[in-house]
Amino acid sequence: MTDEHEFDIVSDGQGIALFGEGKELDLFLKREGLVARPLEMARVAGAAGKASSAVNGIAQASLNAGRWVKLSEKSAKAMKTSGMMKGSTDKLVRGIFTGDKSKITGIAEFVKPGAAFANPMVLANVSGMMTQMALQQSIDEIAEYLAVIDAKIDDIIRVQKDSVIADMIGVGFVIDEAMTIRAQMGKVSDVTWSKVQATSFQLARTQAYVLLQLDDISTKLGKEKSIAALVKASQDAQQPIAEWLAVLARCSQLNDAVGVLELDRVLDSNPEDVEGHRTALNTARQQRLDLITSSTAGLITRVEALGAYANGKLLLNPFESPAVIKASNTIGSRVEDFQRVMEIGENREELTARLWGEAALELRDDVVETSKRIGTATVDGTKKTVEASKKALEQSKKALSSAKDAVQNSKEVHEASKQALDASKQALEESKKALGKGSKWIAERAAKLKRSE
């Protein structure tokens, strides 16, 4: 055994498949602390056997054993930054990983692909099986999630009166049975597939219905304004939300199981279509997850807003506000647990209820600050009022002076008018006297003329 080992590796963005000598693979995985699933080498070898005889011997040697490892966020990022991943994350990358004594030196060293992977049929089969492994991993993780929350999923479904949810019981039985038969037979027969192929519609219908129920709960929570009403509404919403999330998780689990069965059918009947079907299957799955992400993110946003609102009302509601915050955190935590197992959403910080004393001190500080602002505004206002009064007084003085001048002018005009009137009267008297004298002279002249005749 040499100190250096070579493994063929294939990555599809969700996981990595390693091929090589079984013991060396297991030793490498153990040393790196990686949990792996065994790949069905009979199917890969069968595809390799369809290649030319010159390649077949090399292929069989290279495909001695295979393991699948789920990509973590850290390792996926490392692969992308190291140049392993090119193009879309769904595009297959082929190469040989070289490790020194089974130790990782950086998941990046790629040279010419192994001979087995020069055969497109082998690569197609591997890609299909890798997607199946990813789906099976999701199925198992959801099963663990349901076990942890102690969700009696069938009991939850049975209490629902709606036919949409009730149909899910039968669908679950059919799909679980098909997965059991597949595990025993190693394939999906025509009979088994005929039972399963019509279940996708019921699953899609169930998911849509559950998302509507969650959106309806979120909307109702947003309509409540009083703290007392919010206490009841938030507490009443906890159990229904937990139940709907459990149903949604089970629905996703069954969808993934149908995907595993679908790929088995394509691998057996039309292996040349595996890559296209695998890509389409991943796209459809992501679309389902996007809908779930949108609905659950909206629910978290709603409960966070309720918690913040209750925190702001703590002073007048020292008992009710903490109850709303507690219920909001409970709902948020349950939604986050669901998102985590579905590998969607982002982590959030729990809202901590303030102590009543803190709220009171904060109010006191607000009052003091407000009083300061009011006092400052009052002083400023008084100063402005005094300045305005001074200006008004000056204007009044000017107006009074103008009025005095006007009065003085009026007196002078009156005096001049009086003098003119007196002068007019004197002139009139003089005119009367002159007129009298003239009349007398005329009379005297008339008398003289009359006597001379």
Model pTM score:
0.68
* Residues 69 and 184 occupy one common structural domain: no
* Residues 180 and 279 occupy one common structural domain: yes
pLDDT category of residue 252 using cuts at 50, 70 and 90: very high
The two three-digit tokens of residue 425, written as one number: 């009267």
Q: How far apart are CA 143 and CA 253, in angstroms?
A: 8
Please identify, among 319, 337, 354, the residue that sits at the C-terminal boundary of a domain: 354
* Residues 191 and 100 occupy one common structural domain: no
- 3-state SS track over the chain: CCCEEEEEEEECCCEEEEEECHHHHHHHHHHHCCCEEECCHHHHHHHHCCCCHHHHHHHHHHCCEEEEEECCHHHHHHHHHHCCCCCCCCCCEEEEEEEECCECCCCCCCCCCCHHHHCHHHHHHHHHHHHHHHHHHHHHHHHHHHHHCCCCHHHHHHCCCCHHHHHHHHHHHHHHHHHHHHHHHCCCCHHHHHHHCCHHHHHHHHHHHHHHHHHHHHHHHHHCCCHHHHHHHHHHHHHHHHHHHHHHHHHHHHHHHHHHHHHHHHHHHCHHHHHHHHHHHHHHHHHHHHHHHHHHHHHHHHHHHHHHHHHHCCCCCCCHHHHHHHHHHHHHHHHHHHHHHHCCCCCCCCCCCCCHHHHHHHHHHHHHHHHHHHHHHHHHHHHHHHHHHHHHHHHHHHHHHHHHHHHHHHHHHHHHHHHHHHHHHHHHHHHHHHHHHHHHHHHHHHHHHHHHC
The whole-number pLDDT of residue 415 equals 72
In a domain, 430, yes or no: no
In a domain, 404, yes or no: no
* Residues 96 and 159 occupy one common structural domain: no
* Residues 112 and 154 occupy one common structural domain: no
Mean pLDDT for the stretch of residues 232-247: 92
- Bridge partners (DSSP) listed for residue 8: 19, 96
* Residues 183 and 222 occupy one common structural domain: yes
Please identify, among 354, 372, 393, the residue that sits at the C-terminal boundary of a domain: 354
Please identify, among 77, 105, 123, the residue that sits at the C-terminal boundary of a domain: 123
pLDDT category of residue 202 using cuts at 50, 70 and 90: very high
The two three-digit tokens of residue 192, written as one number: 């088994």
In a domain, 251, yes or no: yes
Q: Which of 280, 274, 285 is nearest to 203 (CA)?
A: 285
In a domain, 68, yes or no: yes
In a domain, 326, yes or no: yes
In a domain, 235, yes or no: yes
What is the tens place of the pLDDT at every residue in 105-119?
333 233 334 555 656
In a domain, 27, yes or no: yes
The whole-number pLDDT of residue 179 equals 95
In a domain, 448, yes or no: no
* Residues 114 and 216 occupy one common structural domain: no
Least reliable range by pLDDT among 12-21, 24-33, 45-54, 191-200 = 45-54
Query: 């060293």: which residue's tokens?
Result: 109
* Residues 101 and 248 occupy one common structural domain: no
Enumerate residues 6+ apart whose C-beta is below 8 A from 113.
Answer: 8, 94, 95, 96
* Residues 155 and 290 occupy one common structural domain: yes
* Residues 304 and 338 occupy one common structural domain: yes
Mean pLDDT, the chain, as a whole number?
75
Residue 353 contacts residue 311 (beta carbons within 8 Å):
yes
Q: How far apart are CA 162 and CA 208, in angstroms?
A: 13
Q: Which of 97, 72, 119 is nearest to 19 (CA)?
A: 97
* Residues 294 and 182 occupy one common structural domain: yes
Does the structure show a pLDDT above 50 at 243?
yes
Q: Which domain holds residue 88?
A: 4-10+16-123
* Residues 204 and 283 occupy one common structural domain: yes
What is the tens place of the pLDDT at every residue in 379-434?
566 566 667 666 766 776 676 676 666 666 666 666 766 776 676 677 677 777 77
Number of domains observed in the structure of the chain: 2
